[in-house]
Chains A and B, each alone.
Chain A
Amino acid sequence: MSKMKRLTVFMLVSLLLLVTACGKDNGGGIPAADKDESQEKATVTMGFWGTAQDLKIYQDAAASISDQYPNLELKIKQYPSSEQFWNVLPGEIAAGVAPDFIKISNEGAYEYINKGLFTSLDELIAPSDVDMNRFAASSADIWKVDDKLYGIPNLTMPSMFFINADMWKEAGLGEYPQTWDEVEAAAKKLTKDDVYGITINIDAYHITNYVKSYGGGWGNGKTINSAENVQALQKIFDMYKEGVAVTPKALGYGWDGEVFANGKAAMTTGGYWYKGYLKDANPNLNYVALPVPKGTVNGGTMISDAYVVLKDAKNKEAALKAAYYLTNDKTQTEFLKLGFNSAVTSLSAKYFEENPEFKAVEKALDYSTDFAYPAETKKFIDELVKQLEAAILGGTSQSPQQLLDGIQQQFQ
């Protein structure tokens, strides 16, 4: 064989190997689909709320989706805030202009599942070549209602408790707190001038973390006035009464992260999004992230984001394929760098290496649980917030027991 012929054969074999390798895996952890370019191109839209950094990652993924699915075009629609998202979405669904699939958190999903607005994915999984074994079972389970799967999990992360490390040190405090009693004691020492020991946002997410740490929960509306929940609310009331706690609103801020970033409170409950936010809002802030302190038990909420196909999506299979594509290794790794713990098992293992500031929270993955709000979630959240605001900002004399009894009556 001449030298030229040998070179040609070598090149052809190399090309063949390369094509075979690409056919097995696109490097994103998702097996490549059959590239049937004869089919008509489907356009699907994904809706989400999040930061500009999130948008960039999604736009990059949308730009590369045709490598995996040549007949698929993905458009990204960003909503300005979670409030806007949840308020606008029903109108869009009614008008038939909602995105085909959305990224949402488990915090508000149950109401929508209950009202039949999301597609059950079980029958679409096989034809769309979705491999659910890539995801942690605990993440997928959050998205199952009555044994039906409603979401392709994107991330799973327990709630957290943040402390301003510099303030803690300046106050001469030693070990970080593990219980709410210790938090309360520390808050008294940290409160001075215009700085409060702790900010407690009157918001269902934060309140739920308190009740879960006392062994309570909402039980989908069945256990709103349980003794554990009353005990948790009593702790919150106590800290306000002692003047060591403040709501973000009372200081003119929108949410707890702003209070914490501006050094107006030394402690707060929060979540993984603090990393990205604090990086922009106050890069010099020295903080520590811990699991939610214990009331009587180890407990807290588990936040899980997932991609959910809406019931009126024009092409549900295409929407599911696009949703699944967004869980590819490359996209998920980008999110991992922003502090998102991927629901993909192989990547989740690297999460605490990439985000060492959250290492202390790892153990909370074992015991943190879903929100379990009542089916009329928004109504419940509004009522809970309203009653707590009336008690804390309005000075009504309702006890935690009376407050929760009143809400329980509405959600029997």
Chain B
Amino acid sequence: MSDLLIMLAVLIGSFGAGYALISKVPTMLHTPLMSMTNAISAVTILGALLLFASETSPTGKLIGMVALLAAAFNVVGGFVMTDRMLKLFKHPPRRGTGE
């Protein structure tokens, strides 16, 4: 029962914290934000790793490997793409007029 309560608290707490923080993100950064949260959503990589924590059948291993591959693809791709985008935003606003 306490497990259920802890899980509920974790779910509601992080949803609330995420909501509060993300409401304040400027429109300009919405694409990088989505790209980064996309990478974060691939924390299922933890679940995929846990599949290998106990003995499994060969099919289980195969499924685990596909899950790992997909999640790793999502994580790395998401963070790298976000970084590339944010690098573009680096040009400081105070560079003045003209160029």
**Are A and B bound to each other?**
no
Report A's interface with B, CB cutoff 8 A. none
Report B's interface with A, CB cutoff 8 A. none
